[in-house]
């Protein structure tokens, strides 16, 4: 077994869902050791949390700048190799930029930055750095999503002509209808979240799944948002018509006020031969449908699946795998890249996906504010 990769973590302390997701994912395949961190902006809470999860406190730093400064003083074979950025959105860009400029590998939560311009600056910094950069579009790690990608790549669906992706949640309902509450949530604050809440947080996942599974690029879109209240500056619901090609059209739907919905991410891809359907809340099932043949059901771990899908499957057929395993597959791909090992380009989303995501988010906002007009993506 190769020596474990030294991992630094920024953010994700306390009861953060994203924090425990990344920590568990990094442990699953035995590739990483948490070596240093700034879990929390409050140093005392930062130390207390490190002790709580049994991380040595000698490299728990008071802030991000101190982490970079102190780690660079250490010999190459001792310092942190890769940092995971799990902070609120507005901190992603400055942290990622400084890490790249100082030679660190980066694993960054999405959206990668808060603006498309920042994303392009980060892309240039990444080119100069030559290090590994991953964006954690977690759902690309599911074996059946990877199976979907490989089946489409092999031409099993025939000519693609229709895509339909949606991501419905209802969690913000408990906040948005209370004026006092909605002014206290960072996801509804453009200074911290960026220019979009719904599309920036969850709609971008649906966008990413469309491009990841089909291998195609969305060329233009027309979007309509719902803000619900005139004093709310951030979208909490939206629908985008998309054009991928002259005869390839589709829709991306996202909502944080879909009452009763939990984590309703789903994607459907239709070709002239077959269609494929996948839902995140039932992630171990992929449906293949046809006008002329009975429905086929694909499940993880079986020999009929692709190499990429099987590589991301850890258990025998019939043993459910979930979100932690999906994120772990991304961490596994990043580990291979850091070590210079051979890996499939579908193993983790890259800087390119991060830049595309910001292009998509800004295009949806521009389309809505322009009066629901068609906007081209770069």
Report the distance separating Cα 334 and Cα 350, nearest Å.
10
pLDDT tens per residue across span 251-276: 999 999 999 999 999 999 999 999 99
pLDDT tens per residue across span 105-114: 999 999 999 9
Q: Cα–Cα distances in Å, from 315 out to 222, 330, 337? A: 42, 17, 24
Report the distance separating Cα 272 and Cα 286, nearest Å.
18
Across the range 216-224, mean pLDDT stands at 98
Of 95-104, 120-129, 175-184, give the lowest mean pLDDT range.
Answer: 175-184
> Are 267 and 250 a contacting pair, CB within 8 Å?
no
Across the range 101-121, mean pLDDT stands at 97
The H or E element that residue 65 is part of is helix 64-72
Query: Binning pLDDT at 50, 70 and 90, where does residue 27 land?
Result: very high
Report the distance separating Cα 107 and Cα 334, nearest Å.
8
Report the distance separating Cα 33 and Cα 331, nearest Å.
12
Q: Among residues of the chain, what percentage have pLDDT more than 70? A: 100
Residue reference for tokens 């969305």: 218
Residue reference for tokens 């080119």: 127
List all residues 6 or more positions away from 118 whose beta carbon is below 8 Å from its beta carbon. 93, 358
pLDDT tens per residue across span 311-367: 999 999 999 889 999 999 999 999 999 999 999 999 999 999 999 999 999 999 999
pLDDT tens per residue across span 166-175: 999 999 999 9
> Are 242 and 228 a contacting pair, CB within 8 Å?
no
Report the distance separating Cα 163 and Cα 270, nearest Å.
6
Report the distance separating Cα 249 and Cα 52, nearest Å.
50
pLDDT at residue 299 above 60? yes
- The more confidently predicted of residues 56 and 276 is 276
Report the distance separating Cα 339 and Cα 63, nearest Å.
28
pLDDT at 186: 87
**How many helices and strands (H and E) does the chain possess?**
14, 14
Crossing angle of helices 323-338/17-28, nearest 10°? Answer: 60
| Encoded tokens for 31 | 């590739």
pLDDT tens per residue across span 175-212: 999 998 998 888 899 988 889 999 999 999 999 999 99
Across the range 66-83, mean pLDDT stands at 97
Query: Is 197 buried (19+), middle (13-18) or exposed (0-12) by CB count in 10 A?
Result: buried
pLDDT at 37: 97
pLDDT at residue 1 above 70? no
């Amino acid at each position: 077994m190769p020596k474990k990769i030294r991992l630094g973590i920024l953010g994700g302390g306390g009861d953060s869902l994203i924090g425990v997701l990344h920590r568990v994912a990094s442990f699953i395949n035995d590739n990483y050791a948490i070596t240093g961190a700034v879990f929390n902006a409050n140093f005392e809470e930062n130390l207390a949390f490190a002790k709580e999860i049994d991380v040595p406190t000698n490299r728990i730093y008071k802030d991000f700048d101190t982490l970079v400064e102190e780690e660079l003083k250490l010999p190459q074979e001792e310092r942190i190799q890769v940092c995971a950025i799990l902070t609120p959105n507005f901190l992603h860009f400055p942290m990622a930029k400084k890490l790249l400029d100082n030679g660190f590998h980066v694993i960054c939560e999405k959206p990668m930055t808060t603006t498309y311009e920042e994303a392009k600056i980060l892309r240039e910094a990444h080119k100069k750095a030559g290090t590994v950069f991953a964006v954690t579009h977690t759902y690309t790690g599911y074996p059946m999503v990877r199976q979907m990608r490989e089946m489409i790549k092999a031409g099993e669906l025939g000519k693609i002509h229709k895509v339909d992706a949606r991501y419905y949640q209802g969690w913000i309902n408990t906040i948005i209808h209370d004026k006092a509450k909605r002014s206290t949530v960072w996801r509804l604050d453009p200074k911290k979240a960026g220019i979009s809440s719904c599309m920036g947080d969850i709609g971008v996942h649906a966008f990413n799944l469309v491009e990841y599974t089909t291998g195609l690029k969305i060329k233009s879109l027309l979007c309509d948002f719902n803000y619900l209240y005139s004093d709310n500056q951030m979208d909490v619901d939206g629908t985008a018509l998309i054009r991928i090609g002259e005869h390839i059209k589709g829709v991306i739907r996202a909502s944080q006020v879909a009452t009763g919905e939990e984590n309703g991410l789903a994607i459907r891809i239709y070709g002239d031969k077959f269609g494929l359907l996948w839902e995140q809340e039932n992630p171990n099932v992929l449906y293949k449908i046809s006008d002329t043949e009975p429905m086929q059901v694909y499940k993880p771990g079986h020999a009929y699946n692709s190499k990429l899908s099987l590589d991301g499957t850890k258990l025998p057929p019939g043993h459910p795998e979930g979100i932690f395993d999906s994120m772990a597959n991304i961490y596994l791909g990043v580990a291979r890249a850091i070590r210079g090992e051979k890996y499939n380009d579908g193993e983790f989303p890259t800087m390119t996906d991060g830049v595309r995501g910001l292009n998509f988010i800004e295009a949806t906002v521009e389309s809505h504010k322009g009066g629901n007009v068609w906007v081209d993506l770069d």
